[in-house]
Amino acid sequence: MKAPVFDFTRALSVADAVALLADTARFTKPLAGGQSLGPMLNLRVAFPEHLIGVRQIESLRQAFIDPANGDLVLGAAVPHAQIEDGLIPDVTQGLLAHVAANIAYRAVRNRGTVGGSLAHADPAADWVNTMPLLGARMVAVGLAGEREIDARTFMTGPFTTALDEHELLVAVRVPALGKNARWGYVKFCRKPGEFAEAVGGVLIDRARGIGRLVMGATDGAPIVLEESAERVRAASSDSAVAAHWTDARLSAAIDAAGIGHDPYSAQLHLTMARRAIAVALA
Amino acid sequence: MTPILPAYSLMDHDIARARPLPTTGVGASLQRKEDRRFLAGEGEFVGNIKLPGMLHVAFARSAVAHGRILAVHKPAGFEDAVFTMADLEAGSPPVGPIRVLSSLPGFKPSSQWPLARDKVRQVGEPIAMCVAASRAEAEDIADAVVADIEDLPAVVDMLEARDAPPALVHEEWGDNIFLETLVEGGLKGDAFEALKRGAAVKVHRRLRTARQSMAPMEGRGVVCSWNTRLDQLEMHTAAQMPHINRAGLSETLGIDQASIRVIAPDVGGGFGYKGILLPEEICLAWLTRHIGRPVKWIEDRREQLIANTNCREHHYDITVYADARGRLLAIDCDSVIDSGAYSSYPFSACLEAAQVGSILPGPYKMEAFRCRTWSVSTNKPPILPYRGVARAGVCFAIETMVDAAARAAGVEPHEARLASLIEADEMPYDNITRKHFDSGDYPEAIRRAMQAIDLPRWRARQGAAEPDGRLIGVGHAVFCEQAAHGTSVYYGWGIPMVPGHEQCGARMTPDGRLELRIGAQSHGQSLETTLAQVANEILGIDPDHVRLVHGDTGMTPYSTGTWGSRSMVMSGGAVAEACALMVERVRDIAAHLFQVPLDQVMLAQGRVSDRAGGHSLTLAELAHVWYRQPQRLPPGVNPAGLEVIGGYKARVDTGTFSYACHAVAVAVDPGTGAVELLDYVIVEDAGTLVNPMVVDGQIYGGTAQGIGTALFEEMRYDSQGQPLASTLADYMLPGATEVPAPRIIHMETPSPYTTFGQKGMGEGGAIAPGAAIANAVNDALRPLGAELTELPMSPRRVMAAIAASRAGGVIGSPHAAKGQAA
């Protein structure tokens, strides 16, 4: 369990990193907190030839509110622990801090980063399920410049994303929730700190026309059930929004995602979704 | 041998209680001496050892479970850094295979070559040894080794291996069965059949326990070099039984035992995983001599999980007969053990099954018993005796069956047990398989456990629905832990390593300190502390003035080592005998020095004096005279001096019987299958407790591992024999959040056969949790008509059992018969 030989370069700016990542002669990967890539190197399941350290890039470590629209701009190299500890502005009624506090173990949260986890795209991880729930947008920079990717289309499969090979995820834009927004986020792990076997997330923000349910830890990207803004705004209560998420509808979505062949996993996903709804409405 | 010590005065329970609480000797909760270095990070494990010029080894291992080796290609440019079995066989003398025979008739031996030759029989079997300046470079070379292997069908499931094998693991056998045995007791033939027909209650189940991976914090590791001055191999290895490793190295390397010194330094957990002669040890021993450089191999966690030995995989096809109130009448059982690819040194492939056949009745009385066992070979790693050995599976089998019989009879499970257990006034008791129970009050342990867990409270809570929808259950299990088994037991089981007499060498140093040398080895047992307490008890010497030397064949008497919860009984007995001899030597010297008759000399509190009170010396003063001022000693003093060998064997060598009742309350989540432990009580009787704090530590640690057996640990394989867990993210161990703080209640019934009445107790914690938690879970699921029959009770299995009961009342998880599903 020793890593194979690789080169390492520490980038000090996004421009540096993007230029280094553009190297097509070698298999090049960015390295942030190393909490996933590190073990993969040691287990010799990943063989990058050149790692670009991005953790020291100052702009990636920032988190601030965009005055233009109230979005939280969360730098990709912000560690989970900073979010857990309330050291970044909260625009999600505590959802980000709740999720962060339950990622793996504190030692992992101290080093693991939001962007690293998103770019790694393990279906059982938390941010790949939380960001679609929040309707966040990923900010990526490549040689062609900067672009935004909707979190709901960011993950394209297990461990694969919409990022180009040479693009760097630099930040996540998290839209602010309304004052009366309610959420639930639950997951089932064999032990606290292990990867989830099923994730359920619910967000109801009637003022902003958001009624969204996420079922994660699937075989790929999370299942997102999105209610239309008109329907949500027309609903008389949060419960009325949630009433659309019947067992039959959830099970159909679970089947459509290909989980139905495993009754245990299907049941777990249904249970987590129901419990997330219950938490949101509680 | 007649022990020097008279029957010790702690024989009576009440006398022991009446004594003031000791602060240094037997019975004191003395803080662990070894913790001074461990807590400061100053222990020395194999991984810490660095020798000048040392090279590192990595192994190229088989990627397939079963295949014929056509060729092994060494990477170009590294021919001198890669070694195969052909290289090891080309030496003089040639290196041979590990062959471990059972003496029982019909046993078929396996040949395990240290590096695979002709065939590979499990994923991870070493094929080539690669050496380089660093481990990372050695792994680079190992990755470049190419083995041409013709795939053979993998033999994965033990029942299939026995009944319809897709292939033969060892072709020369003609089948896949190491050994088949039959154990019978009580009524036979027509009388047994009549009992079966007349029994009010008959319950039949197929039960299965998962293959587990033992996971000590420190893995295996070897550092070795050849000492040219002594013409001797010097091997540091993380081992439980260094003298046995030396014997095995001698047999396979073809060199005499005196030319081998095996040293086990600090060892970070053994649990049976390190009670083995390793193929890697043989390889490195050959290599260091071949290349003339010290070499090191440290097992990494992936090797530990996918390549190296496992434990615990049992199947029971069992029927229990009981009367109308649940009292046991008979057991009829077919048991299959998946012993894996090879018979490991020294316990063989048959220890597990030998135990199943003989200990399945547990502490119960019954009229008939029949158990047939098969030790089956598969294309998976060999199994080793893990903490509790077969008892964890046996306890799961018998105790879930007692509960099932109680449910069928309509009585509380503890009532069925109380009706069947050996009573205190029947001790000592020879049971139906002729196990000799030395002492104890099993019914009382159950009564105390029921009281402590407060059964009525949980029954009342079950009557009211939980606000979160979970289901409450309460269950318990009782077991006996035969420990420090001696000659007759191991000979009877056909195990090639038979323990005999245990020795301790004791030397008083010229400044009056005491060195104790024992052949057993500590891998966490606290022997440096507890044996110092024994020395204090006999000699009165300050435990801080006692130094224990162990784990080194060059410095200690022969011993089979530390396993089977034997060290406190066997080494404790030997230390007591050596110290008693030392008392006699001290008194003899003092009598000559004081010029008084021997019977006038007494030794108390570390000071020797004459009864008249005219003379008195500390041990240090006396030792100084003996070594440094011999001119003061008159003629006639015993010239043997202050160095002795004391030997010990228990008066009755069938072992001590610790026992306990574990009682547990659980909440089962029917939406996820998760099980939470709400309360956990252990009523334990290990006889005289030499150090109660150490005993509690053993119980806590064992129970944590037992909770792993019950709920988490499972080494799964796919249909090709590929292991499905290669990291601890996939092989799930219980952690701090999964292990409650058990409440321990001690009973103390001294063993009539040991020096202080102590009983071996290092394994018990790991034995009962699977059974106790299964009984609690099944109690919780009873309203749903669901029952689990397989360990671990993963959420997936709990949900499958619930689904199966909804689908039509099938008992047990649908996987119990096949076993490959999670």
Residue B246 and residue B257 in contact, taking contact as beta carbons nearer than 8 Å: yes
Q: Find, in chain B, the residue whose alpha carbon is nearest to that of A273.
A: B671
CA trace torsion A69, A74, A75, A79 (10° rounding) = 170
Q: Which residues of A touch B723 (CB under 8 A)?
A: none
> Judged by CB atoms within 8 Å, which residues 174-213 of A form the interface with B?
188, 190-195, 197
Q: Are residues B237 and B249 in the same domain?
A: yes
Per-residue model confidence (pLDDT) at position B529: 98
Residue B410 touches partner A, C-beta closer than 8 Å: no
> Residues B180, B373: contact at Cβ < 8 Å?
yes
How far apart are the two ends of chain A, measured CA to CA in Å? 47
Residue whose C-alpha is closest to residue B624's, from B525, B720, B511: B511
Query: Closest Cα partner for B252 from B280, B222, B293, B291?
Result: B280
Predicted local distance difference test score (pLDDT) of residue B21:
63
**Each residue of B338-387: pLDDT tens digit?**
999 999 999 999 999 999 999 999 999 999 999 999 999 999 999 999 99
The reply to whether B136 and B276 lie within a common domain is yes
Give how far B625 is from chain A: nearest CA, Å. Answer: 58
* pLDDT tens profile B230-248: 999 999 999 999 999 999 9
Residue at which a domain ends, from B263, B298, B333: B298
Strands (E), B399-499: 429-430, 436-437, 471-483
Neighbours of B364 (CB within 10 A): 23
- The verdict on A44 touching B (C-beta cutoff 8 Å) is yes
* Domain shared by B277 and B344, yes or no: no
Among B529, B569, B536, B580, which residue's Cα sits nearest to residue B550? B529
d(CA B257, CA B276): 17
Cβ–Cβ under 8 Å, residues B509 and B623: yes
DSSP output for B173-214: GSSSEEEEEEEEEES-HHHHHHHHHH-SEEEEEEEEE--B--
Query: Does B359 lie in the same domain as B328?
Result: yes
Residue pair B395/B774 in contact (Cβ under 8 Å)? The answer is no
CB contact under 8 A, A43 and B302: yes
pLDDT 10s digits, B517-531: 999 999 999 999 999
User: Residues B477, B551: one domain?
Assistant: no
A268 interfacial to chain B (CB closer than 8 Å): yes
Measured in angstroms, the CA of B672 and the nearest CA of chain A are apart by 6
Residue B145: what pLDDT?
98
**Measured distance CA(B693)–CA(B529) in Å, rounded:** 11
Q: What is the pLDDT of residues B632-691, one digit of tens each?
A: 999 999 999 999 999 999 889 999 999 999 999 999 999 999 999 999 999 999 999 999
Smallest CA–CA distance from A189 into chain B, residue: B674
pLDDT-derived band at B493, boundaries 50, 70, 90: confident
Residue type, B785: G
Please state, in angstroms and rounded to a whole number, the distance separating the CA atoms of residues B411 and B403.
9
Among A53, A50, A46, A48, which Cα is nearest to A17's?
A53
Query: Is B727 an interface residue toward A (CB < 8 Å)?
Result: yes
B2 assigned to some structural domain: no
CATH, domain A182-281, list 3.30.390.50, 2.102.10.10, 1.20.200.10, 3.40.640.10: 3.30.390.50
pLDDT of residue A24: 86
Domain assignment present for residue B185? The answer is: no
- CATH of segment(s) A61-174: 3.30.465.10
Residues contacting A25, CB < 8 A, separation 6+: none
- What range does the domain containing B662 cover? 314-488+652-808
- Please give the biggest Cα pair distance in chain B: 92
In this model, does residue B766 exceed pLDDT 60? yes
> How far apart (Å, rounded) are the C-alpha atoms in residues B538 and B690?
13
Q: Is the domain of B539 the same as that of B452?
A: no
B716 inside 8 A of chain A by CB:
no
Q: Is A214 exposed, middle or buried (0-12, 13-18, 19+ CB in 10 A)?
A: buried
Q: Is the pLDDT of residue B321 over 80?
A: yes
Q: What is the pLDDT of residues B573-622, one digit of tens each?
A: 999 999 999 999 999 999 999 999 999 999 988 899 999 888 999 999 99
Chain centroid offset of residue B507 CA: 31
> Which residue, of B298, B333, B368, is where some domain finishes?
B298
- The nearest alpha carbon in chain B to A104 belongs to B729
Query: Where residue B242 sits, what CATH number does that domain have?
Result: 3.90.1170.50
Q: What is the pLDDT of residues A51-87, one digit of tens each?
A: 999 999 999 999 999 999 999 999 999 999 999 999 9
DSSP secondary structure string, B622-651? HHHHHHH-GGGSPTTS-TTTTEEEEEE--S
CA distance A268 to chain B (A): 6
**Domain annotation covers residue B225:** yes
Q: How many angstroms separate the CA atoms of B709 and B723, rounded?
A: 18
Sign of CA dihedral B344, B347, B348, B349: negative
Fold annotation for A7-53: 3.30.43
Pairing of strands B790-791, B201-209: parallel
- Give CA B452 to chain center in angstroms: 29
**B764 and B658 Cβ atoms separated by less than 8 Å:** yes
- Our CA angle for B508, B512, B517, nearest 5°, is 30
CA proximity to B667, closest of B654, B651, B680, B678: B678
Backbone φ and ψ for A108, nearest 5 degrees, come out as -70, -40
Q: Are B543 and B634 members of one domain?
A: yes
Residues A87-99 have a mean pLDDT of 97
Query: pLDDT tens, B191-240?
Result: 999 999 999 999 999 999 999 999 999 999 999 999 999 999 999 999 99
- Examine residue B308 and state whether it is found in any structural domain, yes or no: no
Residues B291 and B390 in one domain: no
- Report the alpha-carbon distance of residue B681 to residue B745 in Å, rounded: 8
Mean of all residue pLDDT scores within chain B: 94
What residue segments make up the domains of chain A, in order of their start?
7-53, 61-174, 182-281
Instruction: Please report, for chain A, how many H helices and E strands are present, in that order.
Output: 12, 14
If you write DSSP's letter for every residue of A199-259 in order, what string do you get? EEEEEEEGGGTEEEEEEESSSSSPEEEE--HHHHHH-SSHHHHHTT--HHHHHHHHHHTT-
Lowest-pLDDT choice from A277-281, B363-367, B497-501: B497-501
Residue B169 lies in a domain: no
Domain assignment present for residue B148? The answer is yes
Rounded to whole angstroms, the Cα distance separating B109 from B375 reads: 12
- For chain B, what is the domain count? 3
Whether residues B88 and B108 share a domain: the answer is yes
Residue B811's pLDDT is 55
Q: Phi first, then psi: what are they for B800, rounded to 5°?
A: -65, -40
Q: What is the ipTM of this complex?
A: 0.95
pLDDT(B808) > 90: no
Does residue B511 lie in a domain region? Answer: yes
Write down how long chain A is.
Answer: 282
The enclosing domain of B555 has a CATH number of 3.30.365.10
B693 touches B746 (CB < 8 A): no
The torsion angles phi and psi of A212, rounded to 5 degrees, stand at -140, 140
Pairing assessment for the beta strands B546-549 and B675-685 based on DSSP bridges:
unpaired
Which residues of chain B are within 8 Å of residue A188 when distances are taken between CB atoms?
672, 674, 795
- What pLDDT, in 10s, does the model give residues B415-434? 999 999 999 999 999 999 99
Q: Does the pLDDT at position B820 exceed 90?
A: no
Evaluate whether residue B179 is within a structural domain: no
pLDDT value for A257: 94
The distance of A66 to chain B (nearest Cα, Å) reads: 39
Provide the 10 A C-beta neighbour count for residue B617.
19
* Residues in CB range of A94: below 8 A, 6 or more apart: none
B815: pLDDT strictly greater than 80: no
- B792 and B674 belong to one structural domain: yes
Q: Which two tokens stand for residue B418?
A: 């109380």
Are B360 and B389 within one domain? yes
Q: Is the predicted pLDDT of residue A268 greater than 90, yes or no?
A: yes
Q: Which of B755, B754, B753 is nearest to B580 (CA)?
A: B755
CA distance A49 to chain B (A): 14
Residues in chain A closer than 8 A to B735 (CB atoms)? 191, 193
B401 and B341 in a single domain? The answer is yes
Rounded to 5 degrees, what are φ and ψ at B481?
A: -120, 95
Give the alpha-carbon dihedral of B163, B167, B173, B179, to 10 degrees. Answer: -40
- Residues B392 and B312: beta-carbon distance below 8 Å: yes
Q: Please count the other Cβ atoms lying within 10 Å of the Cβ belonging to residue A148.
A: 13
Look at residues B272, B298, B324 and tell me which one is the last residue of a structural domain. Answer: B298
Q: Do the Cβ atoms of A264 and B799 come within 8 Å?
A: yes
- Asked if the C-beta of A43 comes within 8 angstroms of chain B's C-beta atoms, the answer is yes
